[in-house]
Amino acid sequence: MSTLSLVTKSSLIKSKLTVITTLALLLSACNDNDDQVVVTPPPAEYSYSVTITNLTYAQPLSPLGVILHNDNKMWMVGDASSLALEKLAEGGNNTDFLADSNAIAASSSEGVILPGTMTTINISTTDRMATYFTAATMLVNTNDAFSGLTGIDISTMVVDDTKSWNLNVYDAGTELNSEAVGTIPGPADGGTGFDATRDDVDFVGYHSGVVSQNDGLYSSVLTQAHRFDNPAIKLTITRTQ
Amino acid sequence: MNTNIKTNLKKINTLLSVSALIFASSQVHAQDLSITVTNLTQGLHFTPIITAAHASDDHIFMVGSAATAELQAMAEGGDISGLVTMLSNADADTNENPAGGFLAPGMSTTYMLTNEAANTHLSMTTMILPSNDGFVGLDGWKIPTETGTYTIMLNAYDAGTEANNELINGGGAPGVLGIPGAPSGGSGTDGSGVTNTESNTMIHIHRGTIGDDDTSGGTSDLNNSIHRWLNPVAKLTVTIQ
């Protein structure tokens, strides 16, 4: 009886010791990051959510195109727009833009992003080289205005990291900013979007804003409501996996 | 006793200043800066650019203060010679006219600037054409001690020294009303003048030009589809080596 109780006690002590040892091990596992060899398999998937907010008064945005790619820029101030960018900036069509030969993964929002609203889309890849990010959308009540960013290094983002930008408006430089009837694809006009003719400066720059019929361009189909300022969109990218 | 304390204090002071010097020398030393200025606009030219590294107390312009005569000559006529003299007298490290004349819309120019240890702050300016006294400016950006590439977006300022009448008449000398020229073209003639007054005589963010769509009359000789802008108008990329 007494022997048994002793054994029980000693086993109790043993189990207490085990608990303490386990705790100590757990603690050391938590603290000791430098010396430990942690074998973590490389993440099989790189997933991001991208949220766009339309900051304008009356400029609906064409479906947001998002691309993951290697080190590359899809446009540069001073350089001519690609044909794919021209199609996006003049007509809001991102099909060719997303099919860029440098694209590793591509995704598009489903519909237009109305003023004062936000949309989130997801993009995913297993390719470790897809460490750069591009996003673009057209301000549809313009001749060839677009906003976005390109060639952003996201290689250091870990899960739950977030980056956010307030973005300015570019002019694709491919179509004269005539604001004329029939030249603007958005609801302000319902005119032609993409037209292969390049009748403007033929390089990308920052947009000077729409003038409108209310501010001195009497041939403009646009009104004061379609004017915009920088920034026009807010973009947030979050690594989700 | 008193002497002892004084001696000890003196020793401590000496030690402190020696360690302060060591600290300072590890933090502040001559740096090699590679600088790129990009004209982000599609319709504005920049006149010869002046860039300087200078002491923290020095400024080539300050928002909310009146322009110096040297800044006025630059902002109204693109003449940087006065600013060069002023900076030279202040022992600044300067780079003059890196683009060899105008920096055209969409174009970039890259140049080197090595700053002395005491010249810890960077400033840059250039006149906007066509404008009466509009200029691009960076005022006293603290040069980081850490190597890397830094991007600074620059706004358009108004020197407050000339009424923005928007008439192109070759008037570029300080105090002479009018715009020296419109190198990008698209301008008109025979405008009646947008305004004859400049009630805010302090340097301020430029309200933008208004222009019109009348090439032979109207109030402005500027074209409202070509010569307006939204901020930012220039990008400065500084690589510290």
Domain B30-240 has CATH 2.60.40.2130: yes
Least confident stretch, A32-36, A73-77, B30-34? A32-36
ipTM for this model: 0.87
User: Residue A14: is it exposed, middle or buried by C-beta count within 10 angstroms (0-12/13-18/19+)?
Assistant: exposed
User: Quick one: pLDDT at residue A35?
Assistant: 58
- What is the rounded average pLDDT of the residues A178-195? 98
User: Quick one: pLDDT at residue A23?
Assistant: 40
Q: What is the mean pLDDT of chain A?
A: 88
Q: Report whether pLDDT(A202) > 80.
A: yes
CA distance B208 to chain A (A): 10
A208/B43 Cβ within 8 A? yes
How far are the Cα atoms of A98, B48, B140, B193 from residue B137, in angstroms, in the given order? 37, 13, 10, 26
- The contacts of residue B115 (CB under 8 Å, 6+ apart) are B30, B31, B33, B53, B93, B122, B143
* Alpha-carbon gap, residue A28 to B64, rounded angstroms: 58
* Alpha-carbon gap, residue A234 to B14, rounded angstroms: 54
Task: State pLDDT tens for residues A146-169.
Answer: 999 999 999 999 999 999 999 999
Query: How much of chain A, in percent, has pLDDT values that exceed 90?
Result: 82
A118 within 8 A of A38, measured Cβ to Cβ: no
* Alpha-carbon gap, residue A48 to B213, rounded angstroms: 46
Token pair in block for residue B57 = 């107390």
Predicted TM-score (pTM) of this structure? 0.85
CA distance A76 to chain B (A): 9
- The contacts of residue B188 (CB under 8 Å, 6+ apart) are B212, B214, B215, B216, B217, B218, B220, B221, B222, B223
* Alpha-carbon gap, residue B64 to A149, rounded angstroms: 33
Phi and psi at residue A62, to the nearest 5°? -70, 160
Token pair in block for residue A116 = 């004062």
User: Quick one: pLDDT at residue A26?
Assistant: 41
Contacts of B149 in chain A (CB under 8 A): none
How far is it between the farthest Cα atoms of chain A?
Answer: 107
B40/A77 Cβ within 8 A? yes
Contacts of A219 in chain B (CB under 8 A): 213
Chain B CA closest to residue A177: B225
**Angle, vertex CA A34, rays to CA A31 and CA A39, nearest 5:** 95
B210/A178 Cβ within 8 A? no
B106/A201 Cβ within 8 A? yes
Least confident stretch, A28-42, A157-171, A197-211, A219-233? A28-42
Token pair in block for residue B187 = 């301008």
* Alpha-carbon gap, residue B77 to B48, rounded angstroms: 10
Chain A CA closest to residue B233: A206
Collapsing DSSP to helix, strand or coil, B103 comes out as strand
Q: Which band of pLDDT confidence, cut at 50, 70 and 90, is reported for residue A39? A: confident
Q: What is the CA radius of gyration of chain A?
A: 27
Q: Report whether pLDDT(A197) > 90.
A: yes
* Alpha-carbon gap, residue A131 to A155, rounded angstroms: 5
B230/A230 Cβ within 8 A? yes
A113 within 8 A of A64, measured Cβ to Cβ: yes
Best residue in B109, B230, B231 for a mutation probing chain A (most A CBs within 10 Å)? B230
CA dihedral in degrees (A84, A85, A90, A96; nearest 10)? 30
Tens place of pLDDT for every residue, chain B, 241 residues?
Answer: 344 444 444 444 444 444 444 444 444 678 999 999 999 999 999 999 999 999 999 999 999 999 999 999 999 999 999 999 999 999 999 999 999 999 999 999 999 999 999 999 999 999 999 999 999 999 999 999 999 999 999 999 999 999 999 999 999 999 999 999 999 999 999 999 999 999 999 999 999 999 999 999 999 999 999 999 999 999 999 999 9
Sorted by where each begins, the domain ranges of chain B are 30-240
A204 CA to centre of own chain? 20
CA distance A172 to chain B (A): 10
CA distance A24 to chain B (A): 41
Best residue in B224, B233, B236 for a mutation probing chain A (most A CBs within 10 Å)? B224
Residues in chain B: 241
**Angle, vertex CA B111, rays to CA B109 and CA B117, nearest 5:** 145
Nearest by CB to B224, from A169, A173, A211: name it.
A211
* Alpha-carbon gap, residue B44 to B187, rounded angstroms: 12
Amino acid at position A200, single letter: D
* Domain boundaries A46-239, CATH class: mainly beta
Chain B CA closest to residue A79: B106
List the strands of the sheet with A233-239, edge to edge: A118-125, A46-54, A233-239, A162-167
Chain A CA closest to residue B104: A78
* Alpha-carbon gap, residue B165 to B190, rounded angstroms: 12
Q: What's the sign of the alpha-carbon dihedral A126, A128, A129, A132? A: positive
